[in-house]
Amino acid sequence: MSSEHFTPVPLDKAYRLLNHGPTVLVSAKHAGERNVMAAAWVCALDFAPPKVTVVLDKATRTRALVEGSGLFALQLPTVPQAAMTVAVGTDSALTMPGKLDHHQVPLFDVPGFEIPLVKDCAAWLVCKLIPEPHNQQSYDLFIGEVAAAWADERVFRDGHWMFDSAPAQLRTLHYVAGGQFFAIGESVAVK
């Protein structure tokens, strides 16, 4: 398992893992092949059952694995994983077959799903592809239904992100361009 902090998130709270707009790592596995890419263009789409959208370019190997298996995982990298996130978002398994080993991407398996997850993230969502060929072909837009979700309970518990009290290295990353992210910042509460 990833760590002692890997904790289930109820499906009706799963949208909250993506609501604040984090960049994600997308993982997939098909016919024994595993891959991980980065994606900033990911978004919640529905509450119940929870659905998500993610943009997967035709040039990525991960997309082919998603199309083959009908399954993908989204996971939220944290500040210490910024360089790895850029690396797996820049290099393609099509031109660098040993990409995951080269960048030392630490994977683990979760019972019940044939998909690798990336260790040490803030949260994880395993999603079943809802095939929408027009969206996939015209817009590179993929829709998934969240089948299971987990979070590091130091930073997300009882349905709430605890960035203000959790260790700073558990803050999520929000990509702009050119290797530049912002970490999520301070809480702003409206009474």
Residues that bind a copy of itself (CB under 8 A): 16, 19-23, 40-46, 51, 53, 55, 79, 82-83, 85-86, 134-135, 139-141, 143, 159-161, 163, 171, 173-177, 179-191
- Decide whether 30 or 62 has the Cβ nearer to a copy of itself: 62
Nearest to 23 by CA among 37, 10, 40, 11: 40
- d(CA 125, CA 9) in angstroms, rounded, equals 9
Residue 165 Cβ vs a copy of itself, minimum distance, rounded to whole Å: 13
Which two tokens mark 84?
């790895």
Residue 85 Cβ vs a copy of itself, minimum distance, rounded to whole Å: 8
Residue 116 Cβ vs a copy of itself, minimum distance, rounded to whole Å: 23
- d(CA 111, CA 26) in angstroms, rounded, equals 18
Nearest to 152 by CA among 81, 57, 78, 46: 78
